[in-house]
Amino acid sequence: MRSLPPFDGLVAFEAAARHRSMTLAATELGLTQSAVSHRLRKLETYLGAKLFNHRSGTGLSPTTAGASLLTDIVSLLDEMATLRARYRAEAQPAVLKVGVGAALSHHWLVRRLPGFMSKHPKVGVELVVAESEAQARAADVDLQVLWLPKATARASSTQRLLFREQVFPVAMPRLLRRGRPLHTVRQLANLPIIHKGRAGRDDGAEWSWPVWFERLGLGTEAPAGMRVDTISLALAAAIEGVGVALGRSLLVHDALTERRLTRVLSADWDMPSSKVHVIRWPAILGTDARVRLFANWLAREAAMLSDREQSAGMDSDKNKSIAILQKP
């Protein structure tokens, strides 16, 4: 009888090694930190080796054994992820299962999907909210739209770049005089602020209100304001008139066009997002016609958005805001 390693321990190890953090691994996997630690201890007991060194300031660091296991486990998990895709490719089901983050689906993608389905009535689409690769694996998606750090967002045979965004403050028009951008940046200090994410969490300088206030010459302290967990909630609160939120150009495009939101500052103050969107699929689906149709359609939507923003003067640098896909 085979002596197999605990699979839940392998998954927990891969997530912890990738994030260099038990806490972030637990968040991705929907577990408590103690549950992740327990699974890692089971795996270490099975292997008879310690997998992590704990180093202050740098987070988790794999031991020599851990680094070797990580190389093997990434390949193993990727191969396992293709099992469902392999059988689906043979069966050619009508429904394409797409994983996407809540903010992108709610504020941009959902209203555009009917256009794709009307052009390709034989290809059904099932949209699944998946904020991480682990959630996408659990949902068995065929395609996933990811929001990744620029350094890791490279085009490959199973991944293509979609679009880059700018980050800038937005608010309900009635919060601003005549619904127009502030005449002077100092007026921002008098408006209610909506913060995204937990205090102290580093999501990038573009999401930090203290960084914005320092850039604007308003000091290093931003008003406490209201704090919400996600950008989707921040934009929903801004649309309801709660205050000023930091929004990504793609997510706020429709709300700006429809005047549900407006820019608070001129586009000269925009900050590029430190992350970019990519679309990813299992290698086994690389020749799947449905995958090509959806990826090309998504590329065209990005291209049209770029053209509209340029013609409307909403973005001063088209190349910074959106990178358009090349056809496969």
- pLDDT tens per residue across span 196-235: 987 656 577 899 999 999 999 998 788 888 999 899 999 9
Encode pLDDT of 236-260 as tens digits. Answer: 999 999 999 999 998 999 999 999 9
SS3 70: helix
Predicted pLDDT of residue 207 = 92
- The residues pairing with 276 across neighbouring beta strands, listed in sequence order, are 148, 164
Contact by Cβ (8 Å): 276, 148: yes
Give this prediction's pTM. Answer: 0.67
CA distance 288 to 294: 10
Domains and their CATH numbers in the chain: 7-73 (1.10.10.10), 155-328 (3.40.190.10)
Give whole-number Cα distances, 207 to 63, 151, 261, 271, 283, in Å.
33, 18, 18, 9, 34
Contacts of residues 201-206 at CB distance under 8 Å and 24 or more positions apart, as own/partner, are: 204/273, 204/274, 204/275, 205/271, 205/274, 206/167, 206/246, 206/271, 206/272, 206/273, 206/274
Those residues with Cβ within 8 angstroms of residue 62's Cβ, 6 or more apart along the chain or in another chain: 17, 51, 52, 53, 69, 70
Contact by Cβ (8 Å): 180, 264: no
Encode pLDDT of 5-58 as tens digits. Answer: 888 888 888 888 888 888 888 888 888 889 999 999 999 998 899 998 865 555
Q: Can you spell out the DSSP letters for 284-315?
A: GGTT-HHHHHHHHHHHHHHHHHHHHHHHHT--
> Which helix (H) or strand (E) covers residue 126, if one does?
strand 124-129
CA angle 205, 158, 18 (to 5 degrees): 45
Average confidence score pLDDT of the chain: 83
Encode pLDDT of 178-207 as tens digits. Answer: 888 998 999 999 999 999 987 656 577 899
- The conformation of residue 93, written as its DSSP 8-state character, comes to -
Encode pLDDT of 298-324 as tens digits. Answer: 878 876 765 555 444 444 333 333 322
